[in-house]
Amino acid sequence: MDTAATPPLATDSPPDAARPVASDRTNIVTMLLGLWFTVGLLLDAWAHNNVPRLESFFTPWHAVFYSGFAATAGWIAWTVRDGLRDGRLDVRTVPVGYASSAVAVVGFALAGGGDLAWHTAFGIEQNINILFSPTHIGLAATMLVIVGTPVRAMWADRSLASAPGLRRLLPALVSACLCATLVLLFLQYANALALTAGDVTVGMSRFDEGFTARLVGSMALTNLLLMVTLLTLARRWRLPPGTATLLYLTTGALSAAVTGLRNMALVVAFVLSGVVVDVLARVLRPAPDRLTRYRAFAGLAALVTWSVYLATARLVAGAAGGGVVELYTGAPVVQAGLAVLLAVLLVPSRESAPPDQDQPRVELGEHG
């Protein structure tokens, strides 16, 4: 059969490698605006959980939140402007990672308008109700796409080496940490970091088995969110020093905000455990082509994190109810096992190291 006689199938969009790649400056600006956007959300989360009789949509924290969105939306619109043709978005001329964000900006604006209407009709939610409001879920989903722009853009940039260092990789790392923080915010009913030291010691005692189940379940969910972030980043790049500390700092800041700073002892200890996890990453250098080290890092990172968490709670709150030795010793081991399982699922077999060959790079220059 003459295969040359059969023309290749045409596609509407070329592969990502043929599309422009955002410049470092573009990703840095997107990261900074995403940080502004997320800080506004943390302020709003603090207000919903700590300001009684909150009855107005027009608040200082909403001003920070929505101004952050407006600035981010304006920047993304400027970045993708060359791809707008007759009111339609041509993804072939938009930097990789930014087309979905342009769509998400429109979705966020619609959800924001719906949120105003929802509050006008049903009032301002308090406590756990916040997390299940349909308009809030819409805001969270679209915001996740927006703040995740730099990590998507840099992940697709094949000219970016597997070990670019902290300074070069910072936009992707901050973006990933903001995404994890946003997810944890909407799972805060199972966020172990939102508990106080006294809560933890009660959970580790014989007082209430139902609360104990809630505590260890929250530890498992929080642990998986942290580990999936670190292990996913380690699939693409060698984790630079400070990656875990940054992740633990952003998720810890969220947890302190929603509790009105009542859990600061645990948050501080948690961030310090992130420093230890960074040391582990430095020593083990986990990567898909170093499978044993990748899985060992997962298990040890979780073991350190939750051992420090429980030890700090015990030291700060004392031995309420005497504590159950099996819980104190076994709970961190269970989290380590879950982290190793996650590592196996993410990288089931040894992979080749990511290629470092150059990819044609389109710098946006003065146009972002």
CB-facing half-sphere around the CA of 249: CA atoms within 13 A = 10
Cα first-last separation, the chain? 49
Residue found under tokens 């982290």: 339
pLDDT in tens, 106-147: 999 998 888 778 777 777 666 677 778 888 899 889 999 999
pLDDT in tens, 171-193: 999 999 999 999 998 898 899 99
261: left (phi over 0), alpha (psi -120 to 50) or beta: left
Q: How far is CA 109 from CA 55, 58, 102, 130, 168, in A?
A: 22, 16, 11, 19, 31
Angle at the Cα of 178 from the Cα atoms of 195 and 132, rounded to 5 degrees: 60
Confirm if 310 and 328 have CB atoms less than 8 A apart: yes
Structure tokens at 345: 């699922």
pLDDT above 50: residue 11: no
Structure tokens at 13: 């969009």
Q: Per this entry, what is the length of the chain?
A: 368
pLDDT above 60: residue 361: no
Measured in degrees and rounded to the nearest 5, phi and psi for residue 290 equal -125, 70
Confidence of residue 66 (pLDDT cuts 50, 70, 90): confident
Rounded distance between C-alpha atoms, residue 313 and residue 232, angstroms:
29
Confirm if 68 and 36 have CB atoms less than 8 A apart: yes
CB-facing half-sphere around the CA of 53: CA atoms within 13 A = 0
Rounded distance between C-alpha atoms, residue 115 and residue 57, angstroms:
9
53-57, 113-117, 165-169, 198-202: the lowest-pLDDT one: 53-57
- pLDDT score at 177: 96
Rounded distance between C-alpha atoms, residue 225 and residue 343, angstroms:
12
Residues contacting 10, CB < 8 A, separation 6+: none
Task: List residues bridging with 88 in a β-sheet.
Answer: 85
Crossing angle of helices 166-185 and 149-156, rounded to 10°: 140
pTM: 0.83
pLDDT in tens, 230-286: 999 999 999 999 999 999 999 999 888 888 788 899 999 999 999 999 999 999 999
